[in-house]
């Protein structure tokens, strides 16, 4: 028998605090060599401006989880079709037998795990005294980013910039009401960078969203919106000035235009990517080494995040009696 878990089922079982702990352990396992994770397959549907991704992973050790996420990213969906930008399903298998354990909605899960990984990166890379957060983007992903950062740092002030001012105003009201933090929609990109301790980019932009010369010593950046070789949210100045810690060096050197474009320009080499997040978590390589460093976490999204979180959701569902049982 397997479990079918809807979006509401997953929502009822998964908190951001729990998700951050799960993701932290998954990345530690990755650095220690306990994860098998092929490069994800990508099909670009140019006619409809869409992206279809297949993301498998096996996580060994105590986690012992095996699964595959199929996810689509269609940036035009909200405006043109009234649908979410990101939708997906996750198939969880028993690693001992290969039998299906669960099929679950992966839309909410994707947002949570994407926020959680930035929460983990912020925990290890941002200054502990950070209280001011600048956010680019005002969608679901941006909300989860803010939620996660607020779990690991005592954020008191948030500046949100979006090219759609009404959307930024709605985002500010929503976040302020739900998280109890002061949120200001700001009129310019510079307002979301200057005087901020942490900066998050969670947009669908293909070109840089701010000028890297605006950065000052001690800031931390989470870049999570772009995940294709020709697109980037962060300009060359930002990449050159920052100590870069990606989710996966190998994945980012295939998919992240934020790094690939400066490499093509000759501004940096591959060695500029100092360590992976997992290596920092596991204590194999250093993260932030001084209060004045500018640190950067760049994420393209990894299957280990989805599978580790899905495994935890499945266990919680069994304990709570949540979901619909079915057989193939």
270 is catalytic: no
Query: Considering 69, 123, 243, 298, which one is annotated as catalytic?
Result: 69
Q: Burial letters for 216-229: b for 16+ Cβ neighbours within 10 Å, e otherwise?
A: eebbbbbbbbbbbb
CA–CA distance, 166 with 34 (Å, rounded to integer) = 45
How far apart CA 299 and CA 309 sit, in angstroms, is 17
Token pair of 12, please? 């009822």
Lookup: tokens for 76: 């035009």
Q: Which long-range contacts (CB under 8 A, 24 or more apart) does 30-35 make?
A: 30/248, 30/276, 30/278, 30/302, 30/304, 31/276, 31/278, 31/279, 31/281, 31/282, 31/284, 32/61, 32/278, 32/282, 34/59, 34/60, 34/61, 35/59, 35/60, 35/304
CA dist 148 → 91, 198, 222 (Å): 25, 12, 12
- What are the residue numbers of the active site? 69
């Amino acid at each position: 028998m397997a479990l079918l878990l809807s979006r509401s089922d997953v929502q009822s079982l998964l908190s951001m605090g729990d998700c951050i702990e799960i993701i932290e352990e998954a990345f530690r396992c990755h650095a220690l060599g306990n994860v098998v994770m092929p490069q994800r397959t990508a099909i670009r549907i140019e006619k409809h401006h869409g992206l279809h991704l297949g993301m498998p992973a096996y996580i060994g050790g105590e986690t012992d989880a095996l699964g595959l996420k199929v996810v689509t990213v269609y940036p035009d969906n909200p405006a043109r079709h009234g649908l979410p930008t990101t939708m997906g399903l996750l198939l969880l298998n028993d690693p001992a037998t290969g039998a299906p354990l669960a099929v679950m909605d992966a839309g909410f899960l994707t947002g949570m795990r994407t926020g959680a990984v930035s929460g983990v990166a912020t925990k290890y890379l941002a200054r502990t005294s950070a209280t001011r957060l600048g956010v680019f983007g005002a969608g679901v992903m941006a909300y989860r980013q803010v939620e996660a950062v607020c779990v690991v740092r005592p954020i008191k002030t948030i500046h949100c910039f979006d090219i759609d001012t009404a959307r930024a105003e709605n985002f500010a009201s929503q976040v302020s009401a739900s998280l109890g933090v002061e949120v200001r929609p700001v009129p310019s990109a510079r307002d979301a960078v200057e005087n901020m301790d942490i900066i998050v980019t969670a947009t669908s932009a293909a070109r840089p969203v701010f000028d890297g010369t605006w950065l000052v010593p001690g800031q931390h950046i989470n870049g999570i919106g772009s995940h294709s070789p020709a697109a980037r949210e962060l300009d060359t100045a930002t990449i050159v000035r920052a100590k870069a810690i990606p989710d996966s060096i190998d994945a980012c050197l295939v998919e992240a235009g934020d790094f690939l474009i400066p490499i093509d320009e000759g501004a940096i080499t591959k060695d500029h990517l100092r360590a992976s997040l997992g290596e920092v978590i596991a204590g194999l390589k250093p993260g932030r080494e001084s209060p004045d460093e500018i640190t950067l976490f760049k994420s393209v999204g990894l299957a280990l995040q989805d599978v580790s979180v899905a495994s935890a959701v499945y266990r919680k569902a069994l304990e709570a009696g949540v979901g619909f049982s079915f057989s193939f």
